Amino acid sequence: MDFLNLSVSTSWWELSKPPLDISTNGHLIDSLFAYTTVLAVFYFILVCIGLFGFSFLYSYKRNKTPLYTYGNKKKHLLITAFIGAAVFLSVDLNITRLSNNDLLDVFWKWPNPKTEKVLRVEVMAQQWMWSFRYAGPDDQFGTADDIVTNNDLRVPTNTKILFHLTSKDVIHSFFVPNVRLKVDTIPGRVTRVWWDANIPGEYDIVCAEMCGTHHYMMKARLTVYSEEDFKGWMATSEKLAMNTNNPDDKNLAWGWKWEY
Amino acid sequence: MSGGYNEIHPEPTTFWSKYIISFDHKVIAKQFLWYGIAFLGIGGLMALLIRWTLAYPGEAFPVIGHLLFPNSAGIVPPDSYAMLFTMHGTIMIFYAITPILIGAFGNYCIPLMIGARDMAFPMLNMLSFWFAFLSGVVLLASLFLPLGAAAGGWTSYPTLSTMIGSPGAGQTLWCVAIFLFGVSSTMGAVNYVTTVITLRAPGMGYFDMPLTVWGLWLTAILNAIFVPVLGAGVILLTLDRVMGTTFFLAGASATSGSGDPVLFQHVFWIFGHPEVYILILPAWGIVSDLLSFFSRKPAFGAKATALSMTSVSVLSTIVYGHHMFTTQMSPLLTQSFMTLTMTISIPSAIFFANWLGTIWKGSIRFDSPMLFSLGVVFVFGLGGLTGLHLGTVTTDLYLHDTYFVVGHFHYTMAASVLLGGYAGIYFWFPKMFGRMMNETMAKIHFWGTMIPLNGIFFGMLMVGYGGMHRRIYNPFVYDSLKRLMPINEMITVSAILMGAFQIIFVINFLWSLYKGKKAPNNPWNVGTLEWTIPSPPVHHNYDVIPVVKCGPHEFGNPNLKTGRDFQYQTEELVQGPV
């Protein structure tokens, strides 16, 4: 039983931290999580103080005569109402507001390819692989010069990456733990998500939605390049795509026209 | 108030009519109890198989592994793994919790606690059990099909659950089983609702009902409204599977027209979110009563607790969208569902405050039902508060479909309901079977359940936050998840421990059934109606329908001169200076 081995240098708390945040905005989710946790722990401690404290103070041995009250006097109702209101105002409204701000200011603020530097990628999920499509030199999707990769997503740093995703067969979910975001890929629909990645390296892309027997194997590699390295890879891939893409290959023909 | 049909039925004389096709709510309650406990065992074993696979991938399951999986040398294969977690969820929710909390306690407690001689519709009650039985047979039969049982998760999202992802007949049988179970639940629900409305003893207003009855009644109302929605959903899914319709089909294989797989999620969760409250409300009710009974003190703000539970029931119907944030609904829906979800905190905080108010300045007896009730307050606190992280859209985008969700809903639905169910079993066992359960074994069972249980579900919260996603056969395919190995192992060892301590419960239950100390009429000194009659009650419960004169939580009234510290509900409330 390895887990009983106390000489393991990293503590469980350390182990259960989420993986390295490689994006500009992942910290918003981490900090909201931390904030919610602090509030939850605060209220849970109050519950525990009541639960264990009262159990200790008012056990049969210590307190033979219970107080005869229905808890429906005005002051009781005021205290209960105060607790209800305090929880709602201090926790719920707060985290709802913060989350909503993050959505409006960041996660739902879709980058505009016309006005900023954006890499667009089309993603198609199927049992059990991820396919990625870059527009290629003509900047149009669904054309013969598209670069298509399987289970291999490469992106540059300092660039917003805008994904449009769909699925061929069943529902999958495009989850990159290192950027803290996931979005379902749904047959018959196009969903979207954007993020950026600022720390070069290799990371996991996983499928988070149950999609069949080999759901657990549906992983792809995310490679984050520096901008120069990405340009180099892109140039090679474009050449390769021009030379090898067969326009009659039905497996390559899944791209769609990029809208909105 | 007793406007209903409340006459004495003749006592059945044959074995068949007494124990099998019984119309007696007490016998049906016991049938549901046995049925639920049997499925709890099956579902629990499945949980152990799942946990073993996650902590020791590629190792044979000990002892019975070779028997169950002879073709893979005792190792759980990936396709069986998917069936296991699908069946574990389905069985625990529909075939273990529902029969025990709603079928057994609902049937047993409602008529006895409101002073009725039986349910309003005894025959419907009998049919409800036998439909549930039939449904269980269909579900278990699906395990023996050539392609195995359903394997798309208990949520069975299309298109995975259509022919595209699940070609075997297992998924079809799953739909049939769930539909039959829905019929059973609906029959039970209309029966409970009617019984509570029409058969309350004279003098018993709604706020004179024990909170257990409140919980069961609200559950029945939600069941009657929302289980048929699930029934409609699985019928549409069955049509997609066997008749070639395309309600939920889309994508490359929707060659004869396109539907929408997300539509099923809406149908499923508009049932599914009330469902989690359907499961927990009876436990809340039981806990609200037991905390008062064993603190020898009136339930603090009982009316507010009942009304809070009612508001939670109402709110539960309009928050279901928080299960679907990652499907990218319209921003307006997403924001609305987040805000509505958060409002559930208010009534929850109120009844939590009332629970703590009940034990405040009480004179607490730590008998086993009380220990389990206090356990519910602890684990539901944790479960409820982790819900905040999931109801918030942005944190949910990270946590959705990770083990954090699994930990959260097990705390709320599994841990709380299990502990609440045990509290109820230990409390009403003397009334049901006329014998006491062994208290020492009960206390060992409590600690042996409570401690590993937190190891399991808190461990799940931790690996979930660490990024481990759900329903994966082998987490160690991912380099980033390898570090979570020790926590996964801890969870599994806790699960095995917790499973082992349940054996003590089974032994205690069976032993007490035959050898337990004879129970007096009122072993816990409680004043609700069921404790005024013999244990076990006679066939028609009440020779004379009782007249209710005070509330269910009359403890510690300083003006009492009877030598007891409580009052029966049939006694006039003793007034005087307090």
**Residuewise pLDDT in 10s, chain A (260 residues):** 555 555 455 688 888 899 999 999 999 999 999 999 999 999 999 999 999 999 999 999 999 999 999 998 999 999 999 999 999 999 999 999 999 999 999 999 999 988 898 999 999 999 999 999 999 888 889 888 889 999 999 999 999 999 999 999 999 999 999 999 999 999 999 999 999 999 999 999 999 999 999 999 999 999 999 999 999 999 999 888 877 777 777 777 788 888 76
Residues 13-72 of A with CB under 8 A from B: 15-19, 28-29, 32-33, 36-37, 39-40, 43-44, 47-48, 50-51, 54-55, 58-60, 63-72
Q: Which residue has the tokens 């249980």?
A: B453
Q: Is the pLDDT of residue B34 over 90?
A: yes
Longest Cα–Cα distance of chain A, Å, equals 90
Q: What is the pLDDT of residues B15-28, one digit of tens each?
A: 888 899 999 999 99
Mean pLDDT for chain B overall: 94
Q: What is the pLDDT of residues A113-123, one digit of tens each?
A: 888 989 999 99
Residue of A nearest to B342 (CA): A92
In the beta sheet, which residues pair with residue A203? A222
At residue A3, the pLDDT reads: 58
At residue A260, the pLDDT reads: 67
Give the side-chain half-sphere CA count within 13 A for A182. Answer: 29
Q: What is the pLDDT of residues B291-339, one digit of tens each?
A: 999 999 999 999 999 999 999 999 999 999 999 999 999 999 999 999 9
Q: Is B256 exposed, middle or buried (0-12, 13-18, 19+ CB in 10 A)?
A: exposed
Q: What is the pLDDT of residues B388-434, one digit of tens each?
A: 999 999 999 999 999 999 999 999 999 999 999 999 999 999 999 99
pLDDT, mean of residues B506-520: 95
Q: Choose among B400, B464, B356, B473: nearest CA to B57.
A: B473
Q: How confident is the model at residue B2 (pLDDT cuts 50, 70, 90)?
A: very low
Q: How confident is the model at residue B3 (pLDDT cuts 50, 70, 90)?
A: very low
Decide if B487 and A85 are in contact by the 8 Å CB cutoff. no
Residues 199-228 of A with CB under 8 A from B: 203-204, 206-217, 219
Residues 338-367 of B with CB under 8 A from A: 338-339, 342-343, 345-347, 349-350, 352-354, 356-366
Residue A203's SS3 state is strand
Q: Is the pLDDT of residue B119 over 50?
A: yes
Pairing of the two strands A181-185 and A147-150: unpaired
Q: Is B230 exposed, middle or buried (0-12, 13-18, 19+ CB in 10 A)?
A: buried
Top residue of B76, B363, B389, B395 to mutate, by most chain A CBs within 10 Å, is B395
First-to-last alpha carbon distance for chain A, in angstroms, is 54
Q: Is the pLDDT of residue B4 over 70?
A: no
At residue A86, the pLDDT reads: 94
How big is the CA angle at B484 (ends B448 and A128), to the nearest 5 degrees?
115
Q: What are phi and psi of A59, to 5 degrees?
A: -70, 160
Spatial separation of the C-alpha atoms in residues B335 and A54, rounded to whole Å: 39
The reported pTM is: 0.95
A90 touching B, CB under 8 A? no
Q: How confident is the model at residue B1 (pLDDT cuts 50, 70, 90)?
A: very low
One-letter amino acid identity for B519?
A
Spatial separation of the C-alpha atoms in residues B421 and A92, rounded to whole Å: 30
